[in-house]
Structures are given as C-alpha cells and as structure tokens.
Structure 1
Amino acid sequence: MSLHNGIDYIQTVDGDCVISPEWVDIAAGFLQANENVATVFGRLREQRPNDSVYNRLCDNEWNVPLGEAESCGGIAMHRVEAFLSVGGFNETLIAGEEPDLCLRLKARGWSVWRIDAEMGTHDAAILRFDQWWRRSVRAGFAYTEHLWRHRGGSLAAWKRQTARFLFWGLIWPTFMVTAPILFFGMGWPLSGTMYLLIPYVMQFLRIWHRGRAPQSPAIRLAALAVIGKFAEALGALKFGTTLLLNRRSKIIEYK
C-alpha cells in the first residue's frame, strides 16, 4: 500500500468468502460520509446454512447488531489512513487478528460500524463435529491470547465470553470432580454429584428457549453452545501451555 498513495480504502476478504457485487460501493460511500469511521462491515451470510447445524451456528454468529461495533471479522472495508496508523494486522496471531486491530483503532479515536447492507457469503463447510470442535478450540485460544495481550484494555465482549467459557468449561467441571473427593468424608453422597449437572441443564434450557424459531434446530444449537464451552476452555489451556513453554503458536485448522 505504500506504493499506492492514492488508495483511500482497502477491502479485506477471507479465502472462503465471496463479496456481494454492490458491497464495495456501499462501504466506500459510508466511509466517505463518516470520516471518524475506520472500518465498516455488513451482513455476512453462510453459503449453505442448511447443510449442517454447524453452518447454521456460523450464520448466526455473523449476524451482529447494527450500529457501532466493538470489532469486525475478516471481511470488512478499512480506511487506509487508519489501518496504517496502527500498523495493520498483527501477523503473529493465529486467530483474532480483527478484534486486535479494532482495539488498537479505537485507542486512536476511530470507530467500527456494522451497517444494514449485504456484504457477502462465507463457506464454513463444517459438516462434522470434530471440525466444529477444533474451530471452537481455536476460538478459545484466540480469546485468551487477546486478554493476555491487552489485559484490562481488552474488548468487553471478549472479556465476558472468556469468563463464561472458563467458568462453564473449566472451573465448574473442576469443582464437580473435586467436590465429592473433598466432602465425601463429611457425608457427601457420590450420587449428589449429579445435582452439580443442573446448572448445565439450566444453561441448555435458557439458550434453547431464546433460540426457538420456526424451522430452527434450536435443541442442537443449544446443546452445541453448552458443549462449546469445554472446547473453548481447552483452547485457553493450549494458549497457557504455549505461553509457559515459550513456544510459537501454531495454526489450528478445522477444514
């Protein structure tokens, strides 16, 4: 980009995505009309959301609220001036480059927006549980690394998400395992451990009730939302191990 000083905006595109024909003009017009905005993105949809419940989860994930956003995904249009002022993407990250970029942009006074426009399609191509599990592990790794790098300045949504999966995927399961051992001598019945599963059931019911809709696989989506906390917690442990052993992070592929 340093060789092309006349470029005002850049469109980033992941290799598994296709940009809608009208998107570039809409996004460029929005950036031109809003000089304080560094990054703009629209509605990204899955190419084949009905091929699997995992693709459906991804389609839901892309549908973030309209208006000013905390961060974008890999598909977005960026103002070159803002992008270069913070050094662009951090190429050492295996995932979560966009939230990292957006955090640095916001620290410089820029904003990030989601607008009501069709931006493109994404081909997750997640047809098996093991693919989805690896993707969730990678997400947990990225969340944890983001918090470690930025500490108290981390994105609020990523703080909340990390706290949730660490509690449900690590802290509570650890308590479930240790509680019978610690309290058995005090009259704790081993069968009482089953009661410790009730919070997971309540979580499942809450997510299922919130996601109910015609033709929506709400039960499976709710189950995966609960199970995913364990995969994300595993990703956090992988990052912790990488940090302690001073190893270089390796890309976690799921396709």
Structure 2
Amino acid sequence: MHNYSQSIAASIDPSSQQTIPMTTYQFGSWRIAISRQLRTKEDLTSQYDAASRSWGRTARRYGLDAAYRRLLVASGAQAALGSIGSKARVLDCGIGSGSLSIALNSILPERLNYCGIDLSGEMLTMADAEMRQAVLVPELRQADILSIPYADASFDFVMAAHVLEHLPEPQHALREMVRVLKPGGMLFVCLTRRSHFGAFIQMRWRTWAITERQGVSWLEACQLNDISFQPIHLRSCAGQASTAFWARRPGGLEHETETTAATTHQEVGS
C-alpha cells in the first residue's frame, strides 16, 4: 500500500478570485448577482478524502466508466495514441479513483504509461488499487493541478474529469495541462455543465457550471486546435450533467509534415 502523505505547496493565491458566480437576477435596472465562496485547497482535499470511501458506488450509480469510454472513443483517442504505441505517456489530473484512465485503457490495444496526480491521498490509494486490478501500474503523485510536477512537453495525452470547475482560475490549470502536453498531443477534459443536476453539483461542491461556449473559449485561450465537445450522458437522474471537450496542441509530426510540404512547394516554385 502506497503512502501519499507528502505536503502540497500552494501554487497561487488568487485572493481576489475566491468566489464563483451562482445565479443572477434582473429587476428593471437592478441586477443582483449571487456568488459563493470557493472551498479552500485543504477543505477540498478533506472532502475528497471522505468521499473516497463511497466513490466507487457513486461511479457505478451514474455509469461513469461507460460514459467516459463513449466520449474517449468519440474524441479519437484510439487513433491519436495508437499511432504512438506502447511508449505513449498519459497524465490523468485529479485522477480520483482512476476511472478515466481505466476507461482509456479499455479502448486501446496495448497498455501505455499512466501517471496521475490528485490532492487527495485517499483517492490516490484507491486509484492505485483500482488500476492495479485492471492490470495497470500507474505512477501516482499527490500534487496540485495548478503546479503539475512534470517537465514541459512530457505527455502525449493529458486529461482531467470534473476537476477544473473546482478552481478559482480554471484557465490557469488548463495552461499547466497544455505546458506538459507534447506538441501535437491531445487534451481531454470533462466539465460540469449548466443543467438541473449540474446546479445540484454546483451547490454541493461549490463548483463552476460551465457552458459549451465557455469551455471552448477557455481552450481557444490556450491556443489549442481541433476543438470539439459532446455532452456526457450519465445514468440515474443525472442526464447530461457534464460535457467532454477535447483539442490538440499545435505542432508535432502533422505540423512538421505541413511545414516540409510548404517548403518543398516554395523550392519547386522558385
């Protein structure tokens, strides 16, 4: 059994952005906006440590594994990673119990190199057990998505499920994810969306509820290409409570091929 008790250094202190918008009312010329204070990093860690004990039941109730598989297939993850082979490296940010990594592994022909980070030591212990049961041997670290402990351009595929909406500055985390993503690599994120069930999640966990337009604008701000999204269909009463987004970091083999072709065309033309 691994011990994930190392301390987590604070990466930012956005003191002016410690609230999230909940709802807005308009009465004539009056506009009343209600916001709610975000959970601190320590509070969120404690809450997820406690939630880890029942997280497996929660995942099964809403059919998270099957939902993640459908969206990963739709994103083209098989082709993106299949072309690299067993040397491909995957980073799962806010890995939780490992559901997203296990779902990705289930649609691929061979096992890849999986790494995962999470604030919650209890979740990491569960992820280690669940992933090893799925015949995966992950590298797990207790760390903050706002300060990912890996070098630039380290991973071929970087993903996160229902993590960014907990943060005061989701784009800061996205930039960190893009930083460790190789040129040409794929980013995949699942975000709670505006819906009846999304409002329940927002009240329960004090998260953002994110529209598709917001999600796309965040990815565009990170200068990502080939942006797509689809609602995530969950079981029980959740319905379409989340949206999956995916995109690519510019560059890589495809970019080099296009550059070479353009150069050759110019040489021929001259």
What range is the shorter-chain TM-score in? under 0.3
Which has the larger Rg?
A: 1
Higher relative contact order (CA 8 A, sep 6+): 1
Report the TM-score, using the length of structure 2 for normalisation: 0.25
Report the TM-score, using the length of structure 1 for normalisation: 0.26
- More helix by percentage: 1
- More strand by percentage: 2
